[in-house]
Amino acid sequence: MYTTDLRTKEQKQKDQQEQLATVTEDDAAFQERIDDDQFIEPKDYMPEAYRKTLIRQIAQHAHSEIVGMLPEGNWVTRAPSLRRKLILIAKIQDEAGHGLYLYSAAETLGVARDDLVQELHEGKAKYSTIFNYPSLNWADIGAIGWLVDGAAITNQIPLCRTSYGPYARAMVRVCKEESFHQRQGYELMMAMAKGSEAQKEMAQDALNRWWWPSLMMFGPPDAESTHTAQSMAWKIKRFTNDELRQRFIDATIPQAEALGLTVPDPDLKWNEERGHYDYGEIDWDEFWAVVRGEGICARDRIRDRVNAYEDGAWVREAAEAYAAKQNQKAAVA
Ligand code: BYC
Cβ count within 10 A of residue 40: 24
- For ligand 1, atom 41, name the residue with the nearest CA: 56
Per-residue pLDDT of 95-107, as tens digits, reads 999 999 999 999 9
If you write DSSP's letter for every residue of 5-53 in order, what string do you get?
----HHHHHHHHHHHHHS--HHHHHHHHHHHTTPPB-TTS---HHHHHH
Chain centroid to CA 190: 25
pLDDT at 9 over 90: no
Per-residue pLDDT of 32-62, as tens digits, reads 999 999 999 999 999 999 999 999 999 999 9
- Please give the single-letter amino acid code of residue 298: A
- For ligand 1, atom 39, name the residue with the nearest CA: 61
Cβ count within 10 A of residue 79: 16
Per-residue pLDDT of 244-271, as tens digits, reads 999 999 999 999 999 999 999 999 999 9
- Please give the single-letter amino acid code of residue 154: T
Measured from the Cα of 67, ligand 1's closest atom is 23
The answer to pTM > 0.85 is yes
Per-residue pLDDT of 78-90, as tens digits, reads 999 999 999 999 9
If you write DSSP's letter for every residue of 219-273 in order, what string do you get?
-S-GGG-SSHHHHHHTTSSSS-HHHHHHHHHHHHHHHHHHHT---S-TT-EEETT
Chain centroid to CA 137: 22
Measured from the Cα of 148, ligand 1's closest atom is 42
Q: How far is the CA of 23 from the centre of ligand 1 (A)?
A: 27
